[in-house]
Structure 1
C-alpha cells in the first residue's frame, strides 16, 4: 500500500494534515509521498499523475485535501485507484476566480510565505480536470465538515453521492479533529477492492 497526499491551494507538505498523515504512515510502515504541487493546475496534475503511475492502482490510495481533493478525484478516475477526499473542492474554477493575481501582485504560500502567482489561464486548466461524477463509487471516501468556512459541505456531499461519506458536524476547513479520524481512514484504505 502507498499513500499519495495532494495538498490544497497555497498549502504544501508542511500542512498539519499532511504531517499527521506522514506520521501515521510511518507508524504503520506505509510509504508516503507528498510533493509540493505547482500552482499551475496543469503542471500539478502532470506531477501527481507521474507520482501515481509509479504504483499499481490496487496498491495506491490518493488522499486529497481541498483543491488536492479535486486533483485526487481526477487522478483516481484516470488511474483506477482509491481516493480519500478531505473537504474537497468541487468547482475550483469558480471558487478561485477571486484569487487570480494578474496585475494585482502575488499571493503567499500559507506555510513558507513564498510568493505565488495564480494566473487567469489556470482557471481553464482547472476546468480541464473536471470530473462530472465519480464512477465506481466504492473507491471513494469523502470527509466533509458542516462548519467548513471555505467550501460548502452540501456541494461536496451531493457531488460524491453514493460514495462512502463521513460528515463531521461542525468542524472546519482544516478539520481540527483530523488525527482522530486517521484509524477510520486506514480501515477504508486497507479494505479489499
Structure 2
C-alpha cells in the first residue's frame, strides 16, 4: 500500500471552504484504491507566511506518507513552490502568485476573509517573510503542473508560464483568477497527482 499525503493550500484571503479546495478534496476521495491511499490535508492558513509554513511543514514531517503532493492556488501556489523544492515532491500550481511579496505589498493593513468577512491584520513584516520563502527558480520541472488562465484579472499568466519552463502546463483561454471552469480541468489535475 502506497500512502500519498495531498496538501492543498488556499489563496490569500481564502479558506479550505473555497470551491476549488472542496471540489479537489471530493475528487481525491475517489482516487484511493486497495494499493493506493490518499490523505487530504487542507488547513486554514494563517496571516503570517512563516507561521503558515511552520504549521504545514510540521504536519508533513509527522506524516508517515510514502509520497507528498502539494496543490496550491494563487498565494497557496507560492507556498507550494517552497514545499516542492524543500521536499522534492510534486506540485500542482493554479494561477500561482510566483512573486508573492511584490503582489501582496500593496495589501499590507487590515483585510477581511472572502467567505467570512473575518478581519485580519496583514503586517508589513509578512512581506519580508514572503521574500525569505521565495523560490528563485524551480528545479526538476517535471515535478510541476501549472494551470494558468489568460483571463486572470489579478496576476500575469505570461509570468506564470515563464516561471515554470519545461513543466507540465495547461494554459486556459479566458477563465479568471478563481478558475471558474476548474471542474472542466480537474481530471488533468487528478491524472498528474495519480502518476508516481
Which whole-Å CA distance do the structure 2 matches of 1:68 and 1:57 have between them? Answer: 21
CA-to-partner distance for each residue in 1:16-59, whole Å, 9 max, x for gaps?
A: 10010111112333321100001101111111212222446752
Residue from 2, 11, 15 that aligns with 2:14: 11
Residue from 175, 189, 192 that aligns with 1:188: 192
Question: Which position in structure 2 is the counterpart of 1:163?
Answer: 167
Which whole-Å CA distance do the structure 1 matches of 2:194 and 2:10 have between them? Answer: 22
Greater share of strand: 2
CA-to-partner distance for each residue in 1:132-186, whole Å, 9 max, x for gaps?
A: 1100111100000000001100001001111110000110000011112121111
Question: Which position in structure 1 is the counterpart of 2:99?
Answer: 91
Query: What is the RMSD of the two structures over their aligned residues, measured on CA atoms?
Result: 1.3
Residue from 155, 160, 167 that aligns with 1:151: 155
Which whole-Å CA distance do the structure 2 matches of 1:116 and 1:156 have between them? Answer: 28
Structure 2: 5+ residue stretches without partners: 33-37
TM-score normalised by L of structure 2: 0.92
- SS of the residue aligned with 2:189? helix
Structure 1: 5+ residue stretches without partners: none
Question: Which position in structure 1 is the counterpart of 2:77?
Answer: 69
- SS of the residue aligned with 1:117? strand
Structure 1 stretches of at least 4 aligned residues deviating more than 6 Å after TM superposition: none
Q: How does 1:16-55 map to 2 (within 5 A)?
A: 16-29=19-32, 30-55=38-63
